[in-house]
A and B are shown apart, each in its own frame.
Chain A
Amino acid sequence: MWGVFGIFVCKGGSRMGDVETRTRVVSGVVRDAVSGESLIGATIYDVHSRKGTSSNEHGFFSLTLQEGEALLVVSYVGYVSERIPLALARDTLIHVDLKSDLELQEVIIRGRNYHDWLKSLSPGQVHFPVGMIKALPALLGENDVLKTLQLLPGVKSGSEGMAGLYVRGGNVDENLYLMDGIPLYNPSHMFGFFSTFNPYAVKHVDFYKGSFPARYGGRLSSVVDVRMKEGNLEKMAGDVSVGLISVKLDLEGPITPGRNSFIVSARRTYLDFLLSPLVRRLTEEKDESKERYETAGYNFLDINAKFTQRLGERDQFSFTFYRGADNMEYTNNIIEFLDDPQYYYKSKSTWEWEWGNTLAMAEYGRRFSDRLYGRFLVAWNRYRSDILIDKNTKKPTYENLPDYNYSFKYQSGIDDGMAKLQFDYYRDQVHTVRMGLEYIFHHFTPETSRIDKGSHDPEKTDPPSYGVENRLNAHEISLYLEDEIEIANRWRFHPGLRVSTFLVEGKNYLALEPRFSIHWMLGENSTLRAAYADMSQYIHLLSFGGLMLPSDLWVPVTKKISPLRSRQLSLAWNFAALQHLEVTLEGYYKYMKNQIEYLDGASVLPEYRSWEEGVAIGKGDGYGMEFQVQKEQGNTTGWINYTLSWANRWFPEKEINYGERYPAKYDSRHGINVVLMHRFSPSFDVSAAWVYHSGSRATLSLERYDGPPVKGVEESWPVEIEHIEYRNNYRLPAYHRLDLGLNFHRHRKRGVSTWNVSVYNAYCRLNPFFIYLDDFDLDKNGKPILRMAALLPIIPAFSYTFRF
C-alpha cells in the first residue's frame, strides 16, 4: 500500500511541476460573521478554475490557484454564500465571515449549490446542520444528535427509543463517538434513551458509515464526529430552555472580544425532584409500631465548557471540559418501635448508581504556513460506573449489640490518556495531505468491588472486608497518512493508510488499514464514487440485549480474543434532480471477522469473570442498497430514504448455530425514513418524521419433541426439547412511528423565544421492546400467546427556549 501511495504522490507532483511557478495560494479561515466561530466543512470554490476545497476543524482552508483572476464562492449549509473576486498576484490570506441564514429561520438551509454538494462529498460521509437536529420532533422534547442519525439510510436504532446505532449490519459497540476528536465510551443517558451530546453545545456533526478517511480508526461501523462550539468571540449570548424533563442553560461570549471566548452549556433533568416525593408518598407506612418509606430518584446531567484563545493570526489554543453523568438512588427507611418508645430498631438501605463520562482536553492549533496547518492535543477521558449499596442497622440499645453496617462498592470503567498530533498539508492544486500520530494509554477497570462490614457475626467465617480488583492496561498507537488528489476537475482520489498497534497482556496486535476512494464527476449534476475501507477495533462492549445499561463493560482484546476487523466496499451515485433535489443511490458490502456473540446458554448479563468463556468469535457480513432524496433549500426541506439490507453472522468453529449462517439480531430487510420540515413564516414551522423498518430478530422455540432417555446416568428420564431451528429465527413485528413537532418563535426586545411542542409516536404504535411466547396461557384457538412489552406509547412534550 505504501508503494501505491508513493506512486500517486510522485505522479501527481511531476504532472503539475510545469505550472508550479504560476500558482498562488489563497488561505484563511471561514467564520460566522456574528459570533466569530470558525466554520467546519465550508466549501471554498473558484468559479474560473473550478477548483475547490473545504475548511478543516479549525475553519482553516488553503487553495492553490493559478495567478490571475479568481472568483471564490464560499458557502456553508445554513449560511448566505459569499462571492469574493480576487486578482491573484501573490499568496493571499483572507478571512471569510459568512452571515447565518438561521437568525430567524431555524429550518431553512440555503447557500449551497449542486456543484458544491457533489464536490464536497466524501464517500460514506453525511453532514447535516445542527439546526436540523433542533428542528426535528424529539422524544420528551429532548433534541438528540444520535436519534437524528437514526433517520439516515443504513442506520437503525436498536430497541424502541434507544439512541444506539446499528450501522450497515454492525453491532452497537462498533461506532466511534468523538467529542472534539476524543472518543466517548458512553454516548447515552437514561439507559440509552437520550444521547450525551447536548445539541445546544454542538457546532458540527460529521457522520461516516462507508469509506472512512484514514484519520479515523478504532471502530468498524461508523464514526460520529461531533465538534463543540467555541463560544461567541464578539458578544455575550446564550439561551435558557425548560422542557418536560430537563432544563438547559447555555452562556457564551468573549472575555476579550475578538481574542478569546468561552462557552458553558449545562443540562439537567429534574425527574428526581418529581419522582422522589411521589415514591415516598406512595410507599409511606406509619403506625404505632413502625414507620417505613422509600425514596427513588433518577437524573442525568451534562456540562460542556470550552475556552478558546486566539494567539494572533496563526495560533489558537482551547481547553475543553465535559462531564456527563447519570445518577440513580433508592433508599428504604424502616423504624420499628419496641414496647418502650425510647427503644427502637432503625434500618436504612441506600442504593446509588452513578455512571458517565468525564473528559478534559487541551488543544493547540497553528497555521505554520499558508499550506500547512497543525494541531496538537492532549486529553484525559474517563468512563466510570459506580454502585454503592449501603445498609445501616441500628439495634435496640438495650440489646447491647453493635450497629450493623454493610457497604458494597462496585466500580468499572476506562481511563484513557491520549495525545494526538495532526497536520493538514495543502501541497498544491492536486494534493491535500493529512497525516497524524495518536497514542492512547488505556487503563481498564472492568470490575473492582469491595464489601465492608462494620460488624459481623463472630461465629461466621466471612472476613469483615474483602474485595475483587481487576485492572488492565493497554497501549494503542496509530499513525495515518491520507491524500486527496484532484485531477482534471473530474477525478478525485483519496488514498490513505492507517497503521495501528495495540499492546495488551504482553501481546501486540498490528493492523494495516488501507483506505481508498475514487470520486468521478460525470457531469455538472452527477458523480460516481467508489470506496474501500479496512477497519480494526480493539475493545468490545459486553452489554445486555442492546440496552445501554451502566452494568455494560468495556473490555479490551486479549490473548484469546483477537481484534475485530472489517472490510467495506461501497459504490455510490449522486445526482441533482428537478429543483433542489439531491439524490443518492449507494450500495455496500461489508465483511467482518472476529465478531463476538454470546454462546448458547451463556449468561447475557455482563460479567467480567471469565467473559471470554461465554463468547464465541465468528464472522459477519452486511450488504444492501440505500436510496435517498433530499431537499435542503426552500421553505420545505427534508428527505425520504429507503434501505434494503441484510446482516448475517456465522461461526466457522461451530460454537453458534453449529457453524451455519444466521441473520444478525438487528438484521432488518427494509427501512424507510421520511423527514419533512416546513416553515410557514419566520414565526412558525412544523416538522414530521416517520420511521419504518422491518422488525429485529429474536430466538424463539416454536416446536418441541422428546429426547430419548440417556442410559448410564442417574437422571435417565426422557428430556423435553424445545427446538430452535436457528438463532434469531423469528422476526419481530415491523417498527414504525410518527413524530410531529411545532415551533413557535417570537421576537422580543432582548432575544427570541421559542415554544416547541412535539408528539413522539403520534399514532401510538406499540412497538415491541422485547417479546416472548407464552405457551402456558393459550388463546381460544389453542395457539400460544406472543407477549410483547412496549415502552413508549404516544408521548407529548413541550419546551420553552429563550435565546439572547
Chain B
Amino acid sequence: MKNLSIKWLSALSLLLLIGCEIETPYDGEFPEPRLAIFSFMRADSLIRVSVSSTRSIGESSDYHRRLEEVAGEVFVNEQLAGELYPRDGIVYTTDVAPKAGDRVKIVVRARGYEEAWGETIIPEEVPEIRVDTVLKENGGSLYNIRYAIRLEDSGKERLYYRLIVAGYSIMEEDGVVTYTGEDYYFDQDEEPLLSGGSNSWLDESEGNRYHIFSNDSFEGKGYTLQVNRYAFNSYESIYTNRWGRLIRHLCRNIQCVRVVRIDEASYLYLKSVMLADRGQEIVEPVQVYSNVHGGVGVIGSESYAEVSFTMPFKQEE
C-alpha cells in the first residue's frame, strides 16, 4: 500500500510537470510573394540580372512560380540606359555596360508583383595586389604552390573582398581545344583572415566557403594573405593514334589568383548566406541580407585584380 501510494504520488508529480505540445496551423499572415532579383556587376561588362520569386515557407522548394510579363530597366546615374531582355530561364541581360563610378539602378516588374528595385555604385578602383609564389615539387607531376598575396590598403574606407584561387586546365590536340576544366579548391587553413582566427562571426570548424574578408584588421597598412594549393604541371606529348597519325597533345594548367573587391551589400549577403547555411540548431536565426526594395535579393558590384601563370611544362611521352 505504501509503495502504491508513492507510485501514485510520483506519477502525479510527473504529470503535473510534463509539458504539452500544441499543434496548430499557422494563423498569421504569409507575406505576398515578392520578386527576388540579383545582379553583381562590374565596370565595362554587360549587366545580367536574375529574376525569380519568393515562395511561402510551406511551398515546396521544387516549386518555382512562373513569372509573367517580366520587364525591367537599367538606370545609370539616374538616366534610363537600357532594358532587361530574357536570356536563359531566370537570367535577363541588358546592353548596358556601366563605367567605374557609375550609380546603377535596376528596376524590375512582373505581373502580380510589386515593383522591386535596387542600386549600387560601380567601384572606381581595383585592388592593388602583388602575388609571390613558391612552387615545390610534391612527387611526380604534382606541385605544392604557396601563394603570398600582398594586398595594399589606402586606409580610406572599409573595404570588402573575395579571394579566388583557381586552376584552369585546357587540353588541346593539334591546336583544337578538346577539354577545359576549372578547380577552385585551395587550402586557407593557415590564413587567419579566411579561416576564422580573426573573423568573429566565423566558426573555425565551419569554414569560409566564399573566402570573403574585410580590411577591418589591416586598414591603412595592407596585408599579405598566405594560402596553398596543389596543381599539376603542364605537359606536351606526341603520340600516334590508331590510324598512325602523329598527334600533338597539349595540356596547359593555368593558375590564377583573383582578388575581388566586392561592395558591402555583396559581402553582407555572402556572409549571411554562409551563416544561415551552417546547419546548427541552437543559434540565433540568421537574417540574410537584402538591399532590394519591394522585393528581396542583392544588387551589388565588384572589381578585381588578377594574376595568372601557366604551370611549368614537362615533356611526356
Q: What residues make up the interface of A, taking CB atoms closer than 8 Å to B? A: 140, 244-245, 271, 274-275, 277-278, 281, 544, 598-605, 610, 613-614, 657-658, 699-708, 710, 712-716, 719-727, 730, 766, 768-769, 773, 775, 778-779, 781-793, 795
A786 in contact with B26 given A705-B54, A721-B276, A723-B296 (CB within 8 Å): yes
B45-63 contact mask (Cβ, 8 Å, vs A): 1 or 0: 0000010111111110100
Query: A-side binding surface: helix, strand, loop or mixed?
Result: loop
A275 in contact with B10 given A604-B284, A721-B273 (CB within 8 Å): yes
- Tell me the bound Cα distance from A719 to B286 in angstroms: 14
Judging by beta carbons under 8 Å apart, are B13 and A703 in contact?
A: no
B residues near A784, Cβ cutoff 8 Å: 25-26, 56-58
A278 in contact with B21 given A603-B282, A723-B54, A786-B27 (CB within 8 Å): no
Please count how many residues in chain B sit with their CB below 8 Å of the partner chain's CB atoms.
68
Among A274, A708, A710, chain B packs the most CB atoms within 10 A around the CB of: A708
Give, as a whole number of angstroms, the nearest-CB distance from A408 to chain B: 21
Minimum CB distance partner of A655 in chain B? B201
**Complex A-B: 17 CB contacts under 8 Å:** A245-B13, A271-B13, A544-B282, A600-B287, A603-B280, A701-B57, A704-B57, A706-B36, A708-B50, A726-B287, A773-B26, A775-B57, A782-B58, A783-B26, A784-B26, A784-B56, A795-B16
Judging by beta carbons under 8 Å apart, are B209 and A657 in contact?
A: no
- Tell me the bound Cα distance from A610 to B30 in angstroms: 37
A residues near B185, Cβ cutoff 8 Å: 714
B164 on interface, CB distance cutoff 8 Å: yes
- Tell me the bound Cα distance from A605 to B284 in angstroms: 10
Judging by beta carbons under 8 Å apart, are B31 and A702 in contact?
A: yes
- Tell me the bound Cα distance from A726 to B289 in angstroms: 10
Judging by beta carbons under 8 Å apart, are A787 and B164 in contact?
A: no
Judging by beta carbons under 8 Å apart, are A778 and B58 in contact?
A: yes
- Tell me the bound Cα distance from A49 to B227 in angstroms: 85
- Tell me the bound Cα distance from A766 to B20 in angstroms: 8
B residues near A782, Cβ cutoff 8 Å: 58-59
- CB < 8 Å neighbour of A705 from B7, B19, B55: B55
Judging by beta carbons under 8 Å apart, are B288 and A275 in contact?
A: no
Give, as a whole number of angstroms, the nearest-CB distance from B133 to chain A: 19
B258 on interface, CB distance cutoff 8 Å: yes
B residues near A775, Cβ cutoff 8 Å: 57-58
Judging by beta carbons under 8 Å apart, are A703 and B38 in contact?
A: no
B221-249 contact mask (Cβ, 8 Å, vs A): 1 or 0: 00000000000000000000000000000
- CB < 8 Å neighbour of B6 from A277, A544, A604, A779: A277
**7 shortest interchain CB distances as A-B pairs:** A601-B275, A278-B10, A712-B164, A613-B200, A705-B36, A784-B58, A791-B19
Q: What residues make up the interface of B, taking CB atoms closer than 8 Å to A? A: 6-7, 9-11, 13-14, 16, 19-28, 30-31, 33-34, 36, 38, 50, 52-59, 61, 64, 162, 164, 166, 184-185, 200-201, 209-211, 258, 260, 268-270, 272-273, 275-278, 280, 282-290, 296-297
- Tell me the bound Cα distance from A604 to B284 in angstroms: 6
Known: A705-B52, A788-B24. 5 other contacts (CB 8 A): A278-B14, A601-B278, A707-B273, A708-B50, A713-B209
A residues near B16, Cβ cutoff 8 Å: 140, 244, 795
Minimum CB distance partner of B289 in chain A? A658
Judging by beta carbons under 8 Å apart, are B13 and A275 in contact?
A: yes
A708 in contact with B201 given A782-B58, A785-B26 (CB within 8 Å): no
- CB < 8 Å neighbour of A713 from B7, B210, B282, B286: B210
A714 in contact with B184 given A274-B10, A275-B10 (CB within 8 Å): yes
- CB < 8 Å neighbour of B24 from A613, A721, A785: A785
A789 in contact with B9 given A715-B209, A724-B288 (CB within 8 Å): no
- Tell me the bound Cα distance from A267 to B159 in angstroms: 61
B residues near A610, Cβ cutoff 8 Å: 200
A604 in contact with B287 given A277-B6, A599-B201, A710-B210 (CB within 8 Å): no
Judging by beta carbons under 8 Å apart, are A779 and B25 in contact?
A: yes
